[in-house]
Structure 1
Amino acid sequence: MAESPRKRNNAAGTAKLADIARQTGVSVATVSKVLNGRTDVASKTRKTVQEALRQAGYTKRIATVRNRRMVEVVFQYFDSLWGFEIMQGVLAEAREHGLSVITTESGDRRHPDSAWLDEMLHRQPLGVILMFANVTDAEKRKLERYRIPYVTIDPSGDPSPDTLSVLADNWTGGVLATRHLLSLGHTRIGVITGPDEMMCSKARFDGFASALSERGLTPDPDLVREGNFQTSDGYRHGLSLLKDPRKRPTAIFAFSDLEAMGVYEAARQLRLRIPEDLSVIGFDDVSTSAFLGPALTTVRQPLQDMARAATSMIIDRSNNKAVSNPLILPTTLMVRDSTCPPARRSDD
């Protein structure tokens, strides 16, 4: 009796797996684990076997979208209040749809490293949420091949029209913060930005400059510092801006609440009172901002709403529903206790 096609294929497949095992010096069971996306294989071994499988023409079976029950969130690093706000939003939306969530730290703010993509493809999530990062054309093609939609929150550059993205109205937020300081009488305003290449940072600075121009003013280059949205940058640049009493600003606009917290510490070390000697305004409205001493005036970007929207976009795209793109959510000025009119100088 002739052997059935199924048996012939299985026999050939086993033989090929044995060839891969001999070639890479591992067991057939290990090759099978790598092929099926098991996680209990050392990273170096997995990469070696993956390359051998690729050269042999093996491809991992693509799971049907219906069977995917996980959303993956990729951070540059997950060590800040900003990240926790994002995760709360993702978890809330995923829970309503019976989905689980996995987080990954990888690469930098502009781009995740290549190892992340291969590992993610083996996990085959329903979709991926990227913090800041964009993907290359080659990576887009891979994601499309595996039918894995992705959404970028606060993209680092100008995303292509076919890239799903969610962001806050950063330009308006920059305008609102600056108008508030101007309305109090501040004209000498220091700024601690985010990375120059990031779209959200550029938009906030453009809003800052636009609000100044309404009063016939322009940004003072001596009062502008490029930060990285981190507390350490707020502290370092805060000291730089405030150390000379003759040149220091009367207010500082920090482009993140974390930077603003660093400015608080710099002011404390220089024995400057907030807001009597220095007004400080932040951006984000993370959960602890209202509990600083004094409570931080800031621009609220709805981080949890942005994260929920990104998760919803993945779910809708996977179900072939129409998705509004890009999605821009409004920002709101939250006036608290860290801003007041500038004190009169002794030489006024």
Structure 2
Amino acid sequence: MFGQGAPNKVTIRDVADLAGVGIATVSRALNGDAEVAEATRLRVLEACETLGFRRSSLARGLKRGTTDNIGVAIMSRHAPVVLNPFYTEVIGGIEEALEASEKHLLLSSLKRREGLLALAQEGRVDGLLVVGCDVSDGVLAQFRDRNIPVVLVDHAFEGLPSVVSDHWQAGLIAARHLVAGGSRSFAFVTENLDNPNFGQRLDGFRHGLVEAGLTLEDRAVAAGGDAWDGGYFAMERVMERLAGIPEAVFAANDPAAMSAAKALASRGLTIPDDVSLMGVDDIHLAAHHDPPLTTVRVDKVGLGRVGAQLLLARLAGEDVPERTTLPVELVIRSTTWPTLGSER
């Protein structure tokens, strides 16, 4: 079968001949037909391996009316995505799940929210994973009302399946940890106050302070803008408003915490001797910050992996839960005091 010159293309007929079955049996075996005996399926797979046969996903998709492509959409506010330490891990989890299902990932960084509808409806993808909180409720309502196969990652909307982190619990964990370290005055800094995930973290943080008989002043809450230095400007605003420096600062995410640290340092303050500081997410830069950042870890890879699994299940006609919530956990490093007995 393999003569001189360019090798002949291995066909499904070659596989059928080597396995001693018909072409239809090979096709059913490769498509996971339950009626094919296990011994026959294994014989077909062995023949494929021996001959180096690979199915054409394009041809298979055309026959089934599918593409085997899964779209992953992130709004361009987070671009370039490959440089964002949070979303690169989420995408890694998506890739992990799709590779196991022989699906292909098509990543789109969109400038217009309306571009999501076009991506979902123009036939390039079988389903869509929408990552982040930057899509309007109007667009999400259209996805729901048109029954477009979509799963939200790190965001939730009524009527659409989603996977999220326990943001409220993250805030509660932060409050309890800072209180246990002896802090009695607090600030909350963030990039923006419109992000619902950040809002839930703030609510959980307030709740944790209230249960300890403490409060967070409204003037101790500030947003500094959607940029890596947003925490810096938010911290500056807090220090301008307050008569004194807060004993502890909780940032809505790690980038805000790390940039807030620069604002504190510019005032001659040291961490954690003068101010305890912590964030949320546990991006890989957190452990390498100086000093290493205490944070609440979010399962970023898990968000992507579970989101992709939910979408694949939905495409297979299975019922999926409307909301899946992943747990978070405290990671204590060097920017906070771990116990009430620590000397300050």
TM-score normalised by structure 1 residue count = 0.71
Q: How far is the alpha carbon of 1:212 from its aligned partner?
A: 0.8
Q: Assess if the C-alpha contact under 8 Å between 1:126 and 1:314 holds in 2.
A: no
Q: How far is the alpha carbon of 1:240 from its aligned partner?
A: 2.4
Amino acid at match of 2:124: Q
Q: Assess if the C-alpha contact under 8 Å between 2:190 and 2:230 holds in 1.
A: no
CA root-mean-square deviation: 2.5
Q: Assess if the C-alpha contact under 8 Å between 1:149 and 1:318 holds in 2.
A: yes
Amino acid at match of 2:103: L
Q: Assess if the C-alpha contact under 8 Å between 1:63 and 1:124 holds in 2.
A: no
* Aligned mates of 1:329, 1:65 — CA distance in 2: 34
Partner residue in 1 for 2:141 = 137
Amino acid at match of 2:125: P
Q: How far is the alpha carbon of 1:343 from its aligned partner?
A: 7.7
| DSSP-derived class of the 1:192 partner | strand
Q: Assess if the C-alpha contact under 8 Å between 1:193 and 1:255 holds in 2.
A: yes
Map of 1:40-51 to 2, 5 A cutoff? none
1:259 aligns with 2:260: no
| DSSP-derived class of the 1:288 partner | helix
Amino acid at match of 1:175: L
Map of 1:157-196 to 2, 5 A cutoff? 159-160=157-158, 162-193=159-190, 195-196=192-193
Runs of at least 5 residues in structure 2 that lack an aligned partner in the other structure: 1-60
| DSSP-derived class of the 2:71 partner | strand
1:150 aligns with 2:150: yes
Identity %: 24
Select 2:93's aligned residue among 77, 89, 93: 89
Amino acid at match of 1:196: L
Aligned length: 272
| DSSP-derived class of the 2:249 partner | strand
1:331 aligns with 2:328: yes
Amino acid at match of 2:153: I
Q: How far is the alpha carbon of 1:244 from its aligned partner?
A: 7.8
TM-score normalised by structure 2 residue count = 0.72
Map of 1:62-73 to 2, 5 A cutoff? 67-73=66-72
* Aligned mates of 1:64, 1:178 — CA distance in 2: 56
Runs of at least 5 residues in structure 1 that lack an aligned partner in the other structure: 1-61
Q: Assess if the C-alpha contact under 8 Å between 2:172 and 2:205 holds in 1.
A: yes
| DSSP-derived class of the 1:67 partner | coil
Amino acid at match of 1:278: V
Partner residue in 1 for 2:125 = 125
Q: Assess if the C-alpha contact under 8 Å between 2:93 and 2:303 holds in 1.
A: yes
